[in-house]
Amino acid sequence: MLSDAKIRTLRPKEKAYKVYDDRGLYMVVNPNGSRWWRFKYKYDGKERGISLGVYPDVTLAYAREQLQEARQLLARGIDPSAQRRTIKIARGDTFKVIAEEWLEMQAERLAPITMTKARWILRSFIYPRLGSRPIAAISAPEVLTVLRPIESRGMNETAHRALQRCGQIFRYAIATGRATRDITSDLRGALAPVVVENRAAITEPAKIGALLRAIDDYIGHPTTLIALKLSPLVFLRPSELRAAEWSEIDLQAGNGASRQRG
| DSSP track, 59-95 | -HHHHHHHHHHHHHHHHTT--HHHHHHHHHHHHHTBH
pLDDT of residue 82: 87
Can you tell me the mean pLDDT for 219-228?
80
pLDDT of residue 230: 84
pLDDT band at 199 (very low <50, low <70, confident <90, very high): low
Map out the domains of the chain with their CATH numbers. Answer: 4-79 (3.30.160.390), 95-187 (1.10.150.130), 205-243+250-256 (no CATH)
Contacts of 237 (CB under 8 A, 6+ apart): none
In the sheet with 17-20, reading across from the earlier edge strand, the strands are: 17-20, 25-29, 35-43, 46-55
Is residue 67 within 8 Å of residue 25, measured between CB atoms?
yes
Helices (H) and strands (E) in the chain, counts: 11, 6
pLDDT of residue 261: 42
The answer, yes or no, to whether residue 98 has pLDDT greater than 90, is yes
pLDDT band at 198 (very low <50, low <70, confident <90, very high): low
pLDDT of residue 260: 44
Q: How far apart are CA 179 and CA 208, in angstroms?
A: 54
For 27, the enclosing helix (H) or strand (E) is strand 25-29
The Cβ of residue 121 has, within 10 Å, a number of other Cβ atoms equal to 21
